[in-house]
Amino acid sequence: METISLARSGRFVVTSVSSDAHMWNLVFLQLLLEERGGEVINLGACVPDEVILAECRLARPDALVVSTVNGHGHLDGLRLIRKIRSDAELADLRVVIGGKLGVRGAANAQFSAELVDAGFDAAFESEAGLAEFDSFLGALPNNDTHRRELAGAAEGGAK
């Protein structure tokens, strides 16, 4: 069984892509992120690209987490990330995508590379499990551990 650590935080926008009607994947991600102390704005299923961009401009999340399982995600994801990276306000936003990125099972891994090349910070094919996503969350600069390290360093420096 996979073990995943707790003690994280941050603000996340969770969304699906415009073609994807599945929602339990989104509920799952919201619960997972909230369990780690994250604040989640869940935009739901079948969200138009422009709505995702507008919500991210407003919320300024630590990361946009895109989930897709219907098999079209590699196409919707490419279109979405190109819009995000060409938007002056969102070009530097941390954006990841995950789920069933195509309809090829384990071979969907090829789409992960394409999506990262196009501008996603990371792509997590569901066949690979959640360990890599857990590592991604742990590496976020504003996670609790990092805050504690900074606080500790500040206290140390004040002595």
In the bound state with ligand B12, the residue whose beta carbon lies nearer, of 134 and 156, is: 134
Query: Is 13:65 a contact under the CB 8 Å cutoff?
Result: yes
The answer to the question of residue 12 lying near ligand B12 (CB under 6 A) is: no
Among 81, 111, 133, 140, interactor with ligand B12 by CB under 6 A: 133
Instruction: Confirm if 77 and 122 have CB atoms less than 8 A apart.
Output: no
Work out which of 4, 11, 28, 146 binds ligand B12, going by CB under 6 A. 28
> Do the strands 95-99 and 38-42 form a parallel or antiparallel pair, or are they unpaired?
unpaired
User: Do 16 and 45 form a contact (C-beta atoms < 8 A)?
Assistant: yes
Nearer to ligand B12, 53 or 73 (CB): 73
Backbone angles phi, psi at 138, to 5 degrees: -65, -25
6: left (phi over 0), alpha (psi -120 to 50) or beta: beta
Minimal distance in Å, beta carbon 114 to ligand B12? 16
Q: List binders of ligand B12 among 82-121 (CB under 6 A).
A: 96, 98-100, 103
Taking CB under 6 A as the binding criterion, the range among 20-28, 52-60, 75-83, 113-121 that sits at the site for ligand B12 is 20-28
What's the CA gap between 16 and 138, in Å, rounded? 23
8, 12, 18, 29: which one binds ligand B12 (CB under 6 A): 29
CB-based closest residue to ligand B12: 98
- Contacts of ligand B12 in 49-78 (CB under 6 A): 65, 67, 69-71
136, amino acid identity = F
- DSSP H helix total and E strand total for the chain: 6, 5
- Which spans of this chain sit near ligand B12 (rule: CB under 6 A)? 19-25, 28-29, 65, 67, 69-71, 96, 98-100, 103, 124, 126, 130, 133
